[in-house]
Each structure stands twice: as structure tokens, then as C-alpha cells.
Amino acid sequence: MPPLTRRISPWFLLLLGVTLFGVVLAAAAVPAGSEALAITGVFVIVLAGWVVSLCLHEFGHAITAYKGGDTSVAMKGYLTLDIRRYTDPGLSLVLPLIILLIGGLPLPGGAVWINQWALRSRAWRTGVSLAGPAANLAVGIVLIITVALFPGMPRPVAAGLSALALFQIVAFVLNMLPVPGLDGWGALEPYLSMPAQRFGEKVRPWAPLALLGVLLFVPGVSALFFAGTQILYSLAGGDAQLAGQGFSALFFWRSL
């Protein structure tokens, strides 16, 4: 097995820096008494933080695949957290950000190509699929705990981190749905019959888009989905009021 590189991409560190810059802006808004600065800070926190979580999601897939036998992920640079290593930047990064801003849905972004045949067992294939959503869940819980442990942090910062945490919970639930093309299906696929697997392959390219259409345009479905994720967020200890304030700042343009 080739050695596991420990080099973190400067691009990932830059994304972290941009997220922290958003925190600084949001914190500075309080003494300055500037609503515009607070909105800008929250906007940067959520968008840059979401891209950071995309990297961590894909790293979860890649590091699990590496441990499970697919050493090609190291040579492809997937273990460096470099956003540029993921597939098509438009579909993997730009489109998810646009949908996030328009519909509030944190779609899966960048993708890593895993050599399924190199994995040692069906259990590893399932583990690789689950590792991505698990990373989102872990990030969400860490953010929730951070907000809870520092009740004196500036309110715009807490609102931005809470909104980002809620997006992580939504992404976890969304990715775990047993829909071809999503990680929930990938976790089940190794144990399905061959006809079911072939069906999944056929519908994989458009099934997530169909799900997106249902969530965005079928009356009541979106409300039910978000209500369920908000319950899970609250059960995890998240502050729904802070998250709501973060959402209001993120989608400020809707009230213009």
C-alpha cells in the first residue's frame, strides 16, 4: 500500500481562511452596529463553510476507500482535501452553491471516483458510501457544540454557524435517502439483487435531479422534509432560533 500523504492542500486552507474571515466580519458587526456587515459575515460563513464541508465529505469517502483497499485515491490527490481534484467544477461546486442559495437545499457536490473492485468486501463498499454523510453529521454536531459552549459569542457569528450546522444535518438526511446517485443507495447497493443494481445504474444520472424537483416543486414535500430535518437538528442540540436568523441573513435578497 502506498504511503498515506499528510499534505493538506493550500486551497483547502484558503477555504478555511475565508470561512474564518466571515467569522471576523460577523463579529465586527456587533460593535460597529452594522446590519450589512452582519449579513455579509453570515453569507461568507455559510457559503465558504459549505464548500469546506464538501471537501470533508469527499475526504470521508476517499480515506475510507483507501483503508478498504483502493489505494488509487491517494494518487488522484483525493486525500489532500483539494477542491480542484473533484470532478467537473461546474456540476460539483457552482451548481450546488446556486441551488443552495435559490432553494436552500445542500446538494452533494464534488465527487471522488472509487475503484469498487479494489475494495476488500461489500462491507467496505457500504462504509465508503456512509463515510461522506457521516462527515456532514460530524461537522454539524461540532458546530452545534461550539455554539453551545460559547454562549457569549457575537450573535451574528452564532447565527452563521448555526445555519451552517443545520445545512450539515439537511445534507446528511438528503444523502442518506435510498435514491440512486446518493450515498444512501450506495450503502445498500452491494446487498441488492443484480436487476436492482442494473436499475440503479440506469437511473443514477437523473434520479437526484428528479428528487430535487420533487423537493422544490411538489407542494408540501419540501415543508415536510425541512420539518423533519429541523427536528433532528433540535434533537442534536441545535438552536432553531439562531439557525433561523442565519437563514434570514443568508437569503437577505428574498426580502428586497
Q: What angle do CA 102, 106, 110 make, to 5 degrees?
A: 115
Q: Is 189 labeled as catalytic in the residue annotation?
A: no
Q: Give the distance, in angstroms, between the CA of residue 160 and the centroid of all CA atoms in the same chain.
A: 15
Alpha-carbon distance values, 61 to 80, 141, 174, 210, 241 (Å): 13, 19, 16, 24, 33
Alpha-carbon distance values, 97 to 15, 118, 198 (Å): 14, 32, 31
Does residue 167 contact residue 137 with C-beta atoms inside 8 Å? Answer: no
The CB-side HSE value for 58 (13 A sphere, CA atoms) comes to 30
Q: Among 35, 58, 189, 201, which one carries the catalytic annotation?
A: 58
> Residues 23, 24, 25, 30: what is their CA dihedral angle, to the nearest 10 degrees?
100
- Active site positions, annotated: 58
